[in-house]
């Protein structure tokens, strides 16, 4: 079972604002993704790419529990 986006974000030491900046997204996009709102695949990929820059192992969009990708 994977971690949620919030858990991955916290484990990498990022705030929603910082993750949004590193993913080149709005803070609202990250907040909505964490809340389980539908997001575009491009948004999910940007978030995962930003997280992967800080994680020791690479994750895929499908590894994030509860992410609602259109």
Domain count, the chain: 1
| Residues linked to residue 43 through DSSP beta bridges, in sequence order | none
Distance CA 10, CA 43 (A): 19
Tens digit of each residue's pLDDT (9 = 90 or more) over 15-66: 999 999 999 999 999 999 999 999 999 999 999 999 999 998 899 999 999 9
Domain CATH code at residue 19: 1.10.260.40
pLDDT score at 1: 63
pLDDT score at 57: 86
Residue 2: which pLDDT band, with cuts at 50, 70 and 90? confident
Domain annotation covers residue 70 = no
Domain span at residue 32 reads: 5-63
Domain annotation covers residue 68 = no
Domain annotation covers residue 69 = no
Q: How far is CA 47 from CA 1, 7, 35, 56, in A?
A: 19, 13, 14, 16
Domain annotation covers residue 32 = yes
């Amino acid at each position: 079972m994977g971690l949620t986006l919030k858990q991955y974000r916290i484990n990498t030491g990022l705030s929603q604002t910082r993750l949004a900046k590193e993913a080149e997204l709005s803070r609202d996009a990250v907040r909505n993704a964490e809340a389980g709102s539908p997001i575009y695949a491009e948004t999910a990929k940007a978030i995962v790419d930003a997280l992967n820059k800080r994680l020791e192992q690479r994750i895929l969009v499908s590894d994030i529990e509860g992410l609602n990708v259109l």
